[in-house]
Amino acid sequence: MGHIQITPSILNSDFARLGEEVARIPGADWVHVDVMDNHFVPNLTFGPAMVEALARVSPVPLDAHLMIDDADRNAPAYVEAGCGSVTFHVEAAKAPVRLAREIRAAGARASMALKPATPIEPYEDLLAELDMVLIMTVEPGFGGQKFLDLCLPKIRRARALMDKHGVETWLQVDGGVSLETIERCAEAGADVFVAGSAVYSAEDPDAMVAALRAKADAARS
């Protein structure tokens, strides 16, 4: 299991001041950018040009979460835009192995996301091809939703499969992660934590990043 990493989502930040919003979280490991196309999910956010502009000013690398159809065709643009990690949804990818290899070859970390109803077991043999697996703990599309406890057993099963195969793949959780829920995720085996509304509704977002990290660290020991 890797060290604890916190990746705040800018989905619930002020889109009119994105440069300033990312400057408020210098203590984060990554900035999580939720790309939505109004087809894969019923919401629309950023495209490659906006992401490229954000990558130029962000104090930490970008962790792109692509909630877009036809990931095979559309994901490589986000590596080119300067993201350090690119996550595609397996439900939107026709050839996930080929896509993961393409992302890695272009110089980013390759990651695959699963919606709450998508099992991890069919993808066991793909783990070595991936730098990270993202387990959604809400239905993708919107920030500020309630954490789904029903996803915890899948986090445990994913960690067990990673241990079984001896891979270095990170395990990210995304959706409803807060001071109330982060310990459950860490105990289940997650090591990378997305937190959107918890960070950007806090008076001091960087202090919230530190508080989340401390809780996850404590849950581990």
Q: Which of 66, 67, 2 is nearest to 29 (CA)?
A: 2
63 in catalytic set: no
- Interface with ligand 5RP includes 118 (CB under 6 A)? no
Fill in the amino acid letter for 126: L
Task: Say how far apart CA 188 and CA 169 lie, in whole Å.
Answer: 15
Per-residue contact string for residues 148-177; x = within reach of Fe ion by CB under 5 A: --------------------------x---
Residues in contact with ligand 5RP, counted by CB under 6 A, come to a total of 23
Residues 181-220 binding ligand 5RP (CB under 6 A) are: 194-198
Q: Cα 34 to chain center, whole Å?
A: 8
Place of tokens 């000013």: 57
Task: Say how far apart CA 160 and CA 164 lie, in whole Å.
Answer: 6
Contact indicator for 18, 10 with CB cutoff of 8 Å: yes
Point out the annotated binding site for substrate: 9, 65, 141-144, 174-176, 196-197
Return residues touching ligand 5RP (CB under 6 A).
Answer: 9, 11-12, 32, 34, 65, 67, 138, 140-145, 174-177, 194-198
Return residues touching Fe ion (CB under 5 A).
Answer: 34, 65, 174
Point out the annotated binding site for a divalent metal cation: 32, 34, 65, 174
